[in-house]
């Protein structure tokens, strides 16, 4: 049985990341709405079985405390299931590597964004230039308030992660490695730093259920805290 208060703390951490890097978060007693800079990041989250489904909602995300019956309601309203986001949690012990130094300048933040673009974007996509610019702007905007870590190989930006703390919860985001540097254990070293940052608290991240990333994190000691199904109106 999920612990709603504990699960909500993990969700709050992700919402803080989304508010800083993807758009705006609006909260009410009955629902949470994420208004993304890109439509792909906009989502509506019900917090009660009694909540009314907005007529203009395009993507709906369910959490354990949304209440029963929402999947059936969404299917009847014409929504289709898309994917399940898994909130994972791991013990914070075991960070043995030397501590890493977080990004501390605009230039390093731009290098951080360069890795994100190489790892996450397809140059053939129509919005490629928009996202590259967005990654740079968000990294420069946030590195003073959040811990952005950048690993280099032979002086070249190679791998990144971002660590954001909200209360006792430390969230891991933007885990990325340029294709030519994968398989060298860089992500594992970055996660070791995240464990160090989370000492005395909780460590969390989110992955798509059934993905290679989920299998990787399971092998590194992460376990499912709760599932968050997504539905989209065609």
Where in the chain are the domains?
4-87, 106-200
Give which of 234, 233, 225, 232 is closest to 63, Cα–Cα. Answer: 225
d(CA 19, CA 38): 13
Question: What CATH architecture applies to the domain 106-200?
Answer: 3-Layer(aba) Sandwich (3.40)
Give which of 175, 172, 129 is closest to 150, Cα–Cα. Answer: 175
Q: By CB neighbour count within 10 A (0-12 exposed, 13-18 middle, 19+ buried), where does 5 fall?
A: exposed
pLDDT tens for the 234 residues of the chain, in order: 346 888 999 999 999 999 999 999 999 999 999 999 888 889 999 999 999 999 999 999 999 999 999 999 999 999 999 999 999 999 987 666 789 999 999 999 999 999 999 999 999 999 999 999 999 999 999 999 999 999 999 999 999 999 999 999 999 999 999 999 999 999 999 999 999 999 999 999 999 999 999 999 999 899 999 999 999 999
CA distances from 230 to 19, 37, 132, 227 (A): 19, 19, 26, 10
Strand partners, 163: 147, 172
Q: 110 Cβ partners below 8 Å, 6+ apart?
A: 136, 139, 140
State pTM to two decimals: 0.92
């Amino acid at each position: 049985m999920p612990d709603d208060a504990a699960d909500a703390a993990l969700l709050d951490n992700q919402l803080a990341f989304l508010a800083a890097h993807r758009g705006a978060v609006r909260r009410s007693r009955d629902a949470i709405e994420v208004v993304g800079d890109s439509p792909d990041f906009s989502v509506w989250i019900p917090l009660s079985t009694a909540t009314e489904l907005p007529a203009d909602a395009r993507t709906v995300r369910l959490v354990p405390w949304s209440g029963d019956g929402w999947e059936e309601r969404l299917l009847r309203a014409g929504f289709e299931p898309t994917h399940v986001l898994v909130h994972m949690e791991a013990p914070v012990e075991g960070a043995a590597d030397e501590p890493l130094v977080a990004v501390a300048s605009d230039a390093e933040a731009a290098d951080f964004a360069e890795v994100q673009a190489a790892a996450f974007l397809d140059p053939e996509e129509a919005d490629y230039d928009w996202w590259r610019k967005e990654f740079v702007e968000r990294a420069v905007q946030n590195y003073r308030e959040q811990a952005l870590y950048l690993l280099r190989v032979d002086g070249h930006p190679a791998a990144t992660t971002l660590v954001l703390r909200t209360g006792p919860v430390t969230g891991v985001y933007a885990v990325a490695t340029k294709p030519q540097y994968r398989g060298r254990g860089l992500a594992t070293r970055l996660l070791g730093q995240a464990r160090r940052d989370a000492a005395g608290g909780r460590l969390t991240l989110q992955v798509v259920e059934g993905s290679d990333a989920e299998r990787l994190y399971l092998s590194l000691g992460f376990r499912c805290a709760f599932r968050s199904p997504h539905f989209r109106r065609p």
